[in-house]
Amino acid sequence: MMIEDIAGYYKPLVVEVGEAMAGKDVRTVLERKLGVSRTLLSKLKLTEFGITINGVRAYTTAKVAARDLVAIRMEEETSDDIMPQEMPLRIVFEDEYLLIVNKPAGIVVHPTHGHYTGTLANGIVQHWQARGEKVRFRPVHRLDEDTSGLVAIAKNPYIHQQLSEQLQAGTIMKLYCAYVYGSPDPADGTVDAPIDRDPDEPHVRIVTPEGYPSVTHYKTALVFGEDAAAKVRLKLETGRTHQIRVHMKHIGCPLIGDQMYGPKTSGNQLWENTAGRQALHAETLGLTHPMTKQWMEWTADLPPEFVALEQVLNEA
């Protein structure tokens, strides 16, 4: 039996029921075979073709038989609240489920108060419109405005749910490159220090015993001058706001060019001017593709300003 595409819905996700699942209800089949969340199941129940057995609308309590085809279909959605805007995009990978983009510094990921246009979302919505795709903008994670590098965007609710679960489980690999003042001691290590908002400045994060668990692993790649600066590669175990910036400051090695967490008076102006912003780049991203179940990994080259910064640091 062919499971057909239906106008107004994304391509169906189909499970053929095996002998071991015969007699189970639809909810159990979809949870065990596709990992569909209860939230998504609740949404699917509200649409005519959201859940079907052999092409016929079904309830989640319906029992299945061996060789039944259970399908879910998600309604197509668009980000009507995001204005399409033409802009150059550095697309690293894209298929019908997932988009990986190399975000430049100076761009906010999603529109917020004061940033309704000029965001990554505006450009991606325009990109999809130009391709005739009806997709809602769903970033799996975000980067600070002045951090460059790789960002994953899901193209339907199921992919977003699956990747969000990978993110929560710590199975998405996010590796960063940073240039810092000083040289970490020890050269390789882990910063395990809880982070929360600064009560006096809510937009700033601080290390505090009352904070949320936060863990950053780091390795020193290069040391410049008499321990004046270092190139460090970092892996996040948790994903707190400003985590790398706060943790590097905590161990006495703030990021070069970091206006919020960097040194106030003792910074090197030449280095900061060369970097042009906080010296942090999301260099490598790895994840298991929710549909193919294959591990995929991408790397974004260092931006030109960091190549120039490293040359300057080599002369320190």
Alpha helices in 61-174 (DSSP H): 120-131, 157-169
pLDDT digits (tens, 9 = 90+) for 58-68: 999 999 999 99
Question: What tokens were used for 46?
Answer: 């509200």
Question: What tokens were used for 28?
Answer: 């159990």
Q: Which of 68, 144, 146, 258 is catalytic?
A: 144
- Taking the CB of residue 12, how many other CB atoms lie within 10 A of it? 18
Same fold for the pair 13-72 and 91-169? no
CA–CA gap between residue 1 and residue 53 (Å, rounded)? 11
CATH 3.10.290.10 fits 13-72, yes or no: yes
Q: At the topology level of CATH, where does 91-169 sit?
A: Pseudouridine synthase (3.30.2350)
Banded model confidence at residue 116, pLDDT cuts 50, 70, 90: confident
Calculate what percentage of the chain has a pLDDT beyond 70.
Answer: 99
Query: Which residues, 6+ apart, have CB-to-CB distance to 312 below 8 Å?
Result: 270, 271, 274
pLDDT digits (tens, 9 = 90+) for 6-36: 999 999 999 999 999 999 999 999 999 999 9
| pLDDT (0 to 100) of residue 1 | 66
Q: What is the DSSP string of 223-289?
A: EETTTTEEEEEEEESS--TTHHHHHHHHTT-PBTT-TTTS-SSSS-HHHHHHH-S--EEEEEEEEE-
Is 0.85 surpassed by the pTM of this model?
A: yes
Question: What tokens were used for 289?
Answer: 């593709």
Residue 153 has pLDDT above 70, yes or no: yes
| pLDDT (0 to 100) of residue 207 | 97
| pLDDT (0 to 100) of residue 3 | 78
Query: Which residues, 6+ apart, have CB-to-CB distance to 133 below 8 Å?
Result: 155
What CATH number matches the domain at 173-314, 3.90.580.10, 3.30.2350.10, 3.40.50.2300, 3.60.15.10? Answer: 3.30.2350.10
For the chain, the structural domain boundaries read 13-72, 91-169, 173-314
| pLDDT (0 to 100) of residue 305 | 97
Tell me if residue 25 is catalytic: no
